[in-house]
Amino acid sequence: MNEKLFSTFDIKEIISDSGVIRLRDSEKDVIGEISLKIFINGTEYASLLCLNQLTEELALGFLHSEGVIDSIGDVASISSNERLFAVMINLAEGKSVEKCESLRSVTSGCGKCFTYINPLKQEKFIPVVDSGQYSVKDILNTMVEFERQSEVYQTVGGVHSVLFKHAEFSVFNEDIGRHNCFDKIAGVLLKNKKMDLVEKGMLFVSGRVSSEIITKV
């Protein structure tokens, strides 16, 4: 596990022993976060609070879920600036950032997220024409594996996790917000040109499925 994801602090641990309360010196690993800046054609587009991991994939997935890009072909170049905690994206020739909705929605997700996608605009969403079928046994077994897969949560805590499961290609990741996890998965699928698999895949998430999560799906 990447140690950059968390920091260790000296703490006072509260001990209760036979009704007697005392403090004990201890150490605690605490998950960290960064403010990731996303630049499009040299202009800052958004700033995301996230785990310092898979930042390029997160940026790609976020722009995809916001309707800025439709495929990896819309991206001419992508690079990271670790010092600035920034991802620099140049769009392909002829591709531009469409004007955002005049009103952005503050979502119910972690960290007061927002989106410019209007869920009432049906043309922004693609109907699922076909879907894969899974047995109840496969679903339950995958769920058990998913709950055991979160190394960061088991070691440090403070993160959500999401799994995209498909026989050909599966993706698992963790972040401080489940919305970031979905965007990272989208970014990984885009980079690997596997987005066509989503209609027949399964998604597992460690938390409630709120409206903005459905929008990203």
Return the higher-pLDDT residue of 212 and 119.
212
Which residue, chain included where needed, has tokens 């594996």? Answer: 145
Beta-ladder partners of 7: 30
At 153-210, the pLDDT tens digits run 888 888 999 999 999 999 999 999 999 999 999 999 999 999 989 888 899 999 888 8
Residue among 37, 44, 51, 29 nearest 179 (CA): 51
Q: For the chain, how long is the longest CA-to-CA vector?
A: 71
At 93-143, the pLDDT tens digits run 988 886 554 444 444 455 455 565 655 566 667 777 766 688 999 999 999
3-state secondary structure of 204: strand
Confidence of residue 50 (pLDDT cuts 50, 70, 90): very high
Tell me how many degrees the CA angle 72-207-39 measures, rounded to the nearest 5: 30
**pLDDT for the residue 150:** 87
pLDDT tops 90 at residue 216: no
* pTM of the predicted model as reported, rounded to 2 decimal places: 0.83
H-run or E-run covering 28: strand 20-31
